[in-house]
Structure 1
Amino acid sequence: MADSNRTSPEENAIVSYKTSKILVVDDVPENLRLLKTLLKNEGYDVRFAPNAKFALASLTQFVPDLILLDIMMPEMDGYTLCEQLKGNPETQDIPIIFLTALNEEADKVKGFQLGAVDYITKPFQSEEVLVRVAHHLKLTQLNLQLQEKNQILLQKNHQLQEAERETRLLLEVTQYLTQASTWEQAIAQIIKSICDRIFWDYGEAWLPQEDTQTLSYLPNPFATHPTLKPFCQLSSTLEFQAGEGLPGKIWQNQTLEWIQDITQAPETSYTRQSLALQIGLKCAFGMPILVNQKVMAILVFYQGKITPCQLNLVALVQAIASQISFLIQRKQSELQLQQQAQDLAEALHQLKTTQIQLIQSEKMSSLGQLVAGISHEINNPVNFIAGNIDHLESYIHDLIQVYYAYQQSYPIPAPTLTELIADLELDFTLTDLPNVILSMKSGTERITKIVNSLRRFAHLDESQLKTVDIHDEIESILTILNNRLKLESSPEMSPVNFSEIQVERDYGQLPKFDCFAGELNQAFMQILMNGIDALQERYEVEKKQPNFPYILGIKTQWIQNLSQVQIQISDNGMGIPANIKPRIFDPFFTTKPVGKGTGMGMAISYQIIVEKHGGSLKCLDIPGQTTFAIALPQRPKKQ
């Protein structure tokens, strides 16, 4: 049974903004008293300042969530105070609503240019004040929540980047060992890659010699600076027995060893202490490469600062050691090599797939929450407006009828009334009012359509299979992308008119089918945006109106014998070079400049369509255009 005392997230949000702090700045005591009563009755924590000087002093001890600021004040007006607050990093993010009796557009524009978020005109209307205050407090709270979510995404992205770098290092180790004729030849390259990744100064390798029962130095160590050359030369003359020096101790114990401070290590543990200190090496650690419990090699690393044992570094190096051991063992048998290579490729593919799924999951989760917030904040005022337009239209109609009845009863009005009617251009106003009402209706319908398209695109709270009309899904995405269908020249191009992308639809008769709608919409949007990007690129290259139009084509058909929906999305943009077509679905591959593409969009689309829905995604070779062919079963094979 649900706990009746528990509150929902929406209720918590209401409580949060209802207890917000507000600073009111006005030189008129009556206004302060009115706003004090009005806001305190709503539960707000309200402070007051009779002028700008008191406001600045108050802000040193009281940080409000919102400022209500009068414009016309002695000594320093509201505009000047607003400019000062927006110029101060500590107060620049506090939203400011101006209180004013000024109705000139220039005054309002000036306020918005200085950073104000809204106006409340005098004399105050209580409901208007409360609605505007609550609206901007909720917007501020939503912005803070979005910033927090963005920070979490950045942290997760950093973790993914770290995982990717470690994966690349493991791939390099694999490549060195598989390409080298012997694993000993690959060790030098592996040591360099490890030092580059962990930012240590020197790396060396030691190999057990069965005939002498000693460790011998492997040539070609890695050193970041020429001053380390004497250390290399001395090491090349040495041999270690089991238990002797750092390499010998690792050989004997078959475990990783870490010397935090060489100056504190006994000479039996570190025989090259004096030379190491002389050239600036202060910390060392080493690890064995084990194959079937036998030491095949020992890798030792050094750096020039005292460093405690780092568990994450140890884990990374041990993973590399395990990788090396595994690959050495593979080289001992050609048959085993082939089998293990396949296993490694599958493991790496699974890792990338997991990364893609995590990124996709985080994006869809954040998108869903963002769309939910936007839909709620937009729908409420839009529904309020839409619900009152019909009433407004009826009231205006009644007033017009009264006016015409008055004209018939009093065809010759008083001179002052005649002059007022002329000044107000009342005849034009009465004619134009229906057009204004129609425009308002059209605007609210457009907003509602966009919000509904966003909700349909995200399919909020729908992680399971959903039966959809594929054409409705595509049209929702086109509604969202409507603004991008206008191609605009870059600043460096000569001025040209906007050029529209023509969307050519060739829709077949399709049955409704089951899919993971939110994720599938993400794939459709990615492919459509790529097509728009290609058309934009062609537009910027041509630098003039084209001889043939920019076309984004969408074709759908139902293949009865396969129980399959086929969708083709094409564009007549710049095309895809043949040499990169095989890589367009690879994770992290992109042809876009740095900062404009992550290389994950098409990889995620492929994973959604092929792996999650059991369909296919191909780039077709059709002259004069780029065409992506999508095939989807009526119900996903993987659920």
Structure 2
Amino acid sequence: MEENRGNILIADDKPDNLRLLSRILTDEGHKVRKVLDGNRALDAAQLEPPDLILLDIMMPEMDGYEVCQMLKANKRTQAIPVIFLSALDDIEDKVKAFSVGGVDYITKPFQKEEVIARVKTHLHIQALHRDLKHKNSLLSEEIEQRKVVEADLKRALQDLKTAQEQIIAREKLASLGTLTAGIAHELRNPLNFIKNYAEGSIELAEEIKEEIEGQLQYVNSETASSIREILADIKENAMTIRQHGLRAAQIISSMMQHARSEVGKFQLTDLNSLLADAINLIYNSKRVQHPGFDIAIETSYDSDIGQIDVLPSELSRVFINLIENACYAAQKKRDKMGEEFAPKLSVKTQKLGNKVEIRIRDNGMGIDTETQAKIFEPFFTTKPVGEGTGLGLSIAYNIVVNQHGGILKLETELNVYTEFVIILPLQSRSASDRDTGNTWKGESTLSEASLTIEAS
């Protein structure tokens, strides 16, 4: 709309008034439409909303007040300014006109200059309102866009910060992994000597005992008893040295596995069968080690998964570690609570688009918040001294995340449950690697602790 030029609707039951007003406004450059009653005014305003309405009050069937009220009740026409035209000059009529939504009031007989001035004023006000509304809309859009950009920027900065932290951690752990592998390698030979000489000392103690047993009858009983105690102490000490040597060898073996870079070939593998084999292995092993061991096992295997591209031997190590930990946790809770507690292991697989999810859950004691933050760190363990190396979950994380490009996360609630969730791509590495016989080298690092907590 040009400045102060508008689309004006005039409603008056007097044709002479319509012609006069139309000529005045047309001469000023306005587009004018004319109707003779209220119903037609409503239809015309609804069909093509004007910029301004000049509305007579005294009309047949529907007066101007009623027409104005209906205009203001309609969302399409409620913002159109209405100037009342009337021969009524009482203050009550003017007040009523403003109360039903009118913006101005022109009394008949009207003056040309007055009509032009009032129309010009309200068209200008209407134009300002529209411009303000448009600018508010643009401002709102700009605010929303800035919010989106700000949110994206925050995410980008957070991702950058996370990436930097991971790079720093990875570099530190790479150095630590190399150092660990070197130390472990250097310690192997001394530990083998310790273990072998301890075993030799045990055998020598037995041989000495057998050799002198027949001679002890010729010495007094107190001396014989003392000799037997010394030999028993020597044997016990040697057995203790051997036991701790084996323990140290186990830790070193785990460290070497953790730091190694070469893994096997990716193969199409029946994931459900691999998981079932790991369950059977751990269950039977536990039954042999602890005859009283028992745990209810619930499995739910998604048959749609079929075969997926994985490193079967490496992934089997992950399953065995997580299932063994689950059985251990559930049994510890039974030891604490007694016969009324029933240990339970739940294992579930599910195909999720181009990925597969494995959930391994126990109803043990759960994991507290402080421990959750450390659970995947190398050498961290909640088991008593001698029962765990603290490398199992760290190795599992390395296999799932670094070797398979998957996700390993923990969900837990203290005193209720612990659940490890593994998410793997259906095809972890390119099929060409498998077809050509290429192997993939994993990172030779102690994997950084990465944990997603979804616990209450």
| TM-score, normalized by the shorter chain, greater than 0.5 | no
Rg larger for:
2
- Highest RCO, 1 vs 2 (Cα 8 Å, sep ≥ 6): 2
TM class, shorter-chain normalised? Answer: 0.3 to 0.5
The TM-score, its normalising length taken from structure 1, stands at 0.28
